[in-house]
Amino acid sequence: MSTRARQYTADVLGREQLSDHLVRVTLGGPGLADFESTGIADEWVGLVVPGQFQSRYYTVRSWAGGQLRIDVVVHEVGLVTEWAAREIVGDTVTITEPKGSFAMPGDAAWLLLVGDLTAMPAMARIAETVGRDGFDPARVRIWAEVPDELGGYLPAGPAVTWLDPPGEGRSGLAEVVEAIDWPAGEGYFWMAGESAQMRAIRKHLMRERQLPPTAYDVMGYWRGVAQRQPRAVDPGPIWRAGKAAGKSDDQIWADFDAAREGHT
Ligand SMILES: Cc1cc2nc3c(=O)[nH]c(=O)nc-3n(C[C@H](O)[C@H](O)[C@H](O)COP(=O)(O)OP(=O)(O)OC[C@H]3O[C@@H](n4cnc5c(N)ncnc54)[C@H](O)[C@@H]3O)c2cc1C
């Protein structure tokens, strides 16, 4: 039996600029005929755009009538962001089978959603899905850290706190969550965005709030450009010098990492 994730080819049927930094891409065509949604509200797919072989993850904002919509954040540089900024209708892309992670317990008294622009598609779909399942929207609260005016993007009902990002390519959501006035009783906390912020929040939820793992879901969706990016270093000379000096492979990789971090 093959363990390879299933893949689908899809045609780009539409491209719509929703706001300065958000582009809606509609995919469809015969390659998606067998696509099956997991039904999990934050489900995502891997996307490979033309001329690339690496995938990037995108939330399935919706799947209906043979059309799959993703909303792509347009940031400074990147494989998908640069592709999505262009005229792409008619392109063919590859997507992988969907996976999801949102798992609110049936007896949750409340639902808190926190995220930056990359998390907006998931937060919108989660709010929509739980509302359709009969969860009182008054028990849902959303914190959205976005650079654009996106008032109509989220379904009506839940109270939304709109936050400005601290700067281009930056997020300050960890501080926001640490200051939340938590509702009484047991509920579910879902959060996604910049990875360093998510690491800080996981620690906070485990140590300070002592939540059981079933009560929250926190996902790093991207790595901030403000963090140190490794330098591009050719591993060839380091490898040859290491071998000549009789170093082990591990030592050579450590030398390579040190060179990328600028310590040599
Ligand atoms: C489960 C999951 C679901 C996701 N859903 C969505 C979604 O619905 N919509 C969406 O837009 N993104 C979503 N993301 C995030 C997206 O996969 C990443 O932002 C991805 O890195 C974008 O790829 P890229 O090719 O544009 O940039 P890359 O080539 O990956 O990165 C190039 C540079 O851009 C920086 N960068 C990457 N993303 C951002 C950003 N958002 N803002 C500022 N700088 C950035 C990187 O640090 C890097 O330096 C999701 C991620 C996961 C794991």
C-alpha 222 – ligand 1 centre gap (Å)? 5
Look at residue 251 in the predicted model and tell me its pLDDT: 62
Ligand 1 atom with least separation from CA of 229? 49
pLDDT tier, 168 (very low <50, low <70, confident <90, very high otherwise): confident
Q: State whether the beta carbon of 121 lies less than 6 angstroms from ligand 1.
A: yes
In the chain, residues under CATH classification 3.40.50.80 are 111-222
Whether pLDDT at 242 is above 90: no
Look at residue 161 in the predicted model and tell me its pLDDT: 97
Q: State whether the beta carbon of 143 lies less than 6 angstroms from ligand 1.
A: no
Q: Does domain 111-222 have CATH number 3.40.640.10?
A: no
Q: State whether the beta carbon of 59 lies less than 6 angstroms from ligand 1.
A: yes
CB under 8 Å to 197, separation ≥6 — which residues?
A: 171, 172, 173, 174
Whether pLDDT at 173 is above 90: yes
Q: Are 197 and 171 in contact (CB under 8 A)?
A: yes
Radius of gyration of the chain (CA): 21
Q: What is the pLDDT of residues 42-70, one digit of tens each?
A: 999 999 999 999 999 999 999 999 999 99
Q: State whether the beta carbon of 228 lies less than 6 angstroms from ligand 1.
A: no
Look at residue 50 in the predicted model and tell me its pLDDT: 97
* CATH code for the part of the protein at 7-96: 2.40.30.10
Q: What is the pLDDT of residues 93-134, one digit of tens each?
A: 999 999 999 999 999 999 999 999 999 999 999 999 999 999
C-alpha 238 – ligand 1 centre gap (Å)? 31
- Which residue has its alpha carbon closest to ligand 1 atom 27? 78
In this prediction, residues 180-191 reach a mean pLDDT of 96
Look at residue 169 in the predicted model and tell me its pLDDT: 86
Type of residue found at 207 = R
Whether pLDDT at 264 is above 60: no
In the chain, residues under CATH classification 2.40.30.10 are 7-96
pLDDT tier, 203 (very low <50, low <70, confident <90, very high otherwise): very high
C-alpha 198 – ligand 1 centre gap (Å)? 14
Distance CA 17, CA 24 (A): 6
Measured CA angle at 191 (ends 188, 194), to 5 deg: 165
Question: Between these two residues, 137 and 231, which has the higher pLDDT value?
Answer: 137
Mapping DSSP to helix (H, G, I), strand (E, B) and coil, where does residue 148 land?
coil
Q: Are 21 and 62 in contact (CB under 8 A)?
A: no
Residues of the chain with pLDDT > 90, as a percent, come to 80
Q: How many CB atoms lie within 10 A of CB 212?
A: 9
Question: Between these two residues, 41 and 227, which has the higher pLDDT value?
Answer: 41
* Parallel, antiparallel or unpaired: strands 188-194 and 111-116: parallel
Question: 205 in the Ramachandran plot: left (φ > 0), alpha (ψ -120 to 50) or beta?
Answer: alpha
Ligand 1 atom with least separation from CA of 61? 8
Q: What is the pLDDT of residues 217-240, one digit of tens each?
A: 999 999 986 555 556 667 777 877
Residues of the chain with pLDDT > 70, as a percent, come to 89
Pocket residue to mutate for ligand 1, from 48, 69, 221, 228, most atoms within 8 A of Cβ: 221
